[in-house]
Amino acid sequence: MRLSKLGIVRKLLFAIQAGWYPQESIPLVINTLVLVAQSSFTAEVIKPIVSYIAASLAEGEFISPLHLTTSSSLSPVLSTSRADSLRSTGRDNAEQVLEALVSVLRNPSLFSKLADTLPMPRICLLVLGVHPSSRIACQALAMLGLSLNASLSSSRNFELAGGWEILKNVLPRIWDRSVHDAALDLLPGRFGNGSSDDSGSPKMLSVFLFALYQGLSTGNNNAEPGEGEHICLL
């Protein structure tokens, strides 16, 4: 109770965003963040974490004035380079916080608290964004899997939010082995996945097929004349 009144989660998130800790210490800061969050996983804790992740992963991420100097002695090239470096560091930190949040949500009681606070389908899509890395996509898919396991209506709610179509548009562009495995985990029977809602299986299968089609099309377009004719037969 005393910890919750101190607002430690908000302060740690601000410290991470402001770059107050050396980069090698960030995992330790995030571990502390997780421990404090788990002790009182309420809306006052959940919303700042999700907001930080969403804002930091968004394209065109805002760079805090704390990071940049307005000194005229800095050339535009140096300023741009510094901003790009900070943007990359901020995104990496946000990805680490996202991974930590997903690990916390594997606790059913904590997942239930987040689902009661925020709409899970929209959180998954918010995290995924338009141009995610494969690392982010894997975490978004993990969140979706937890949601599908927890509720019979999750697949329908995700569909109403346009989620399955968004996955078809976004995932093929970044499809690799890690994304493949994360997507495969959403299908029933994968490593004992006892999903409460199997209605999303055909939708997820369509994502696989579309990714396959995109991959084959790209491979066929890049092939030399006479190559890839067997692909066209598909």
DSSP-assigned states of every residue in 127-187: HH-SS--HHHHHHHHHHHHHHHHH-TTHHHHHHHTTHHHHHHHHGGGG--HHHHHHHHTTS
Q: What is the pLDDT of residues 132-158, one digit of tens each?
A: 999 999 999 999 999 988 888 888 899
Quote the CA–CA distance of 136 and 92 in Å, as a whole number: 10
Q: Which helix (H) or strand (E) holds 98?
A: helix 76-105
> Which residues are CB-neighbours of 17 under 8 A, at least 6 positions away?
52, 56, 64, 90, 93
Domain ranges of the chain: 1-66+78-118, 120-234
Which portions of the chain are predicted below pLDDT 50?
A: 60-79, 82, 191-192, 223, 225-234
